[in-house]
Amino acid sequence: MHIITGLHRGGAETLLCRLLTHPTLNSTNSFCVVCLSGPGEISGDLEKQGIDVHHLNMNAGFFSSFKGLWRLNAIFSSFKPQAVQTWLYHGNLIGGLLSWLHRCPVSWSIHNNYDLPAKNRGRLLMELNRVLSYFLPKFVVYCSESARKSHVKNGFSLKKNVVIANGVDCQKFRRNDRTEACRMIGLAPSDFIVSMVARFSPEKDHKTFLEAASLLRKEIKNIHFVLCGYGISRNNTELCNQLTKLDLHSQCSLFETINPIENIYNASDIVTLTSLSESFGLSIAEAMACETLVVATDIEGLSDLVLDKSFLVPTRDPEAVSRAWKALIELPSVDKRALGASMRRRIEDNFSFDVMGSGYQELWGALAEKS
């Protein structure tokens, strides 16, 4: 059984879907997914693969939380899981407590660094996870060494750590025809396209991306920018105010989701993350697998992926981002192709889906033995 906070598109949510729908894992395990909130884009992807998905809608109010807990207890009783894998802080807390109540071994998973900005309520949730990490889970799985170090440094259990780095399906994410990818998204292949795939959240720092875009478009005319992720739409007032202030509306396309997501990587000349904090930059890894050039902030979780310092820039520095973009755009085509190929090899050798899938399969086997 898997218990996760929500199923809107995000790094952990996408990872869960790819794990459970992978032919090897799907054929050797019986899965049930419990979402603490309502349906998201990932819900349908799981259901199409015949996986039972239960939505508890616990975010709808006080009484809905109690009703959701009652339903979750009933799901435990009917499904009788051998082991439980929880995802993200809410999932870890609630799934951990219910697993303890039903005497079922549980593994937590954490997909962010501890030092993310959070409101008081979020910090309380993180503190509860910290204290209970010594008692509830048999294992605590981190998606990167960066995430592990930041949590252990802040008091999470040291003894139960397992690092299973996020992996990329290199069969799915590979170089494909750019013109066709642009056509499917509705972009002009004659433009230079710079994109960022990330949910709209303070730690992703879209402001720096847009300020860098405003600088670069003064020097390069045939350039277009793309933002894609949960919360990215013309209904986002904060985002649209930034676009208006920088006069970027006509040169920036917004998508909450693109399906299949690899189209955005193949359509783009450069993929960027301007994050302030990352445990593992999944969109950068996927772009590299597609042989697309990348620029990222020089922080743990991104510098582990992009070893060449010339493609790493300081945080909150739009001038540095713009300069890095321009340098890549001006590279000769033969150098761009060679660079893209080396980026793909980096992912194939170190961050493949097969390695990650084997890690989780081994973990779940060990967890089931504790039941």
Q: Is 118 helix (H, G, I), strand (E, B) or coil?
A: coil
172 domain-assigned: no
Q: Do 222 and 311 lie in a common domain?
A: yes
Contact 294, 286 (CB under 8 A): no
- Preceding omega of 260 cis (within 30 degrees of 0): yes
Kindly indicate the confidence band of residue 307, based on its pLDDT and cuts at 50, 70 and 90.
confident
Q: In the chain, how many domains are there?
A: 2
Q: Residue 124: pLDDT band by 50, 70, 90 thresholds?
A: confident
Residues 70 and 214 placed together within one structural domain of the fold? no
- Do both 13 and 145 map to the same domain? yes
Does residue 97 fall inside a structural domain? Answer: yes
Q: In terms of domains, do 162 and 299 share one?
A: no
Q: Please, are residues 43 and 37 in contact by the beta-carbon 8 Å criterion?
A: no
CATH assignment at residue 229: 3.40.50.2000
Alpha-carbon distance of 264 to 258, in angstroms, equals 7
For 124, residues 6+ apart whose C-beta sits below 8 A from its C-beta are none
Amino acid at 6: G
Average confidence score pLDDT of the chain: 93
What is the three-class DSSP state of 260? coil
243 pLDDT higher than 80: yes
More confident residue, 80 or 11: 80
In a domain, 308, yes or no: yes
Say if residue 275 is in the same domain as residue 358. no
In a domain? residue 271 = yes
DSSP string, 125-138: HHHHHHHHTTTS-S
Segment holding 108, helix H or strand E: strand 106-110
Range of the domain at 214: 178-350
Residue 19 lies in a domain: yes
Do 117 and 226 have their domain in common?
no
Question: What's the rounded mean pLDDT across residues 197-217?
Answer: 96
Residues 6+ apart with CB under 8 A from 185: 226, 253, 255, 258, 263, 264, 267
Q: How far apart are CA 302 and CA 162, in angstroms?
A: 20
- CB-based contact 168:286 (threshold 8 Å): yes
Q: For residues 116 and 254, state if they share a domain.
A: no
pLDDT exceeds cutoff 90 at 151: yes
pLDDT of residue 238: 97
Label residue 118 by pLDDT band (50, 70, 90).
low
Residue 83 — pLDDT band, cuts 50, 70, 90? very high
| Residue 86 contacts residue 107 (beta carbons within 8 Å) | yes
The structure tokens 């040291």 sit at: 158
| pLDDT number for residue 371 | 76
Claim: this prediction has a pTM higher than 0.75: yes
Residue 173 falls inside a structural domain: no
Q: Are residues 301 and 257 in the same domain?
A: yes
Q: Identify residue 117 by its one-letter amino acid code.
A: P
SS3 263: helix
Residue 276 belongs to some domain of the structure: yes
Burial class (CB in 10 A: 0-12, 13-18, 19+), 323: middle
Kindly state whether residues 132 and 214 are assigned to the same domain. no
Cα–Cα distance for residue pair 281/296, rounded to 1 Å: 9
User: Are residues 10 and 129 both part of a single domain?
Assistant: yes
Domain-located, residue 75: yes
Q: How far is Cα 87 from Cα 95, in angstroms, rounded to an integer?
A: 9
Give the model's pLDDT for residue 23: 77
Please count the other Cβ atoms lying within 10 Å of the Cβ belonging to residue 40. 19
- The reply to whether 151 and 254 lie within a common domain is no
Looking at the structure, tell me whether residues 363 and 346 fall in a common domain.
no
Residues in the chain: 371
Q: How far apart are CA 220 and CA 258, in angstroms?
A: 26
Query: What percentage of the chain has pLDDT greater than the value 70?
Result: 98
Average of per-residue pLDDT across 65-85: 95
H/E stretch holding 238 = helix 237-245
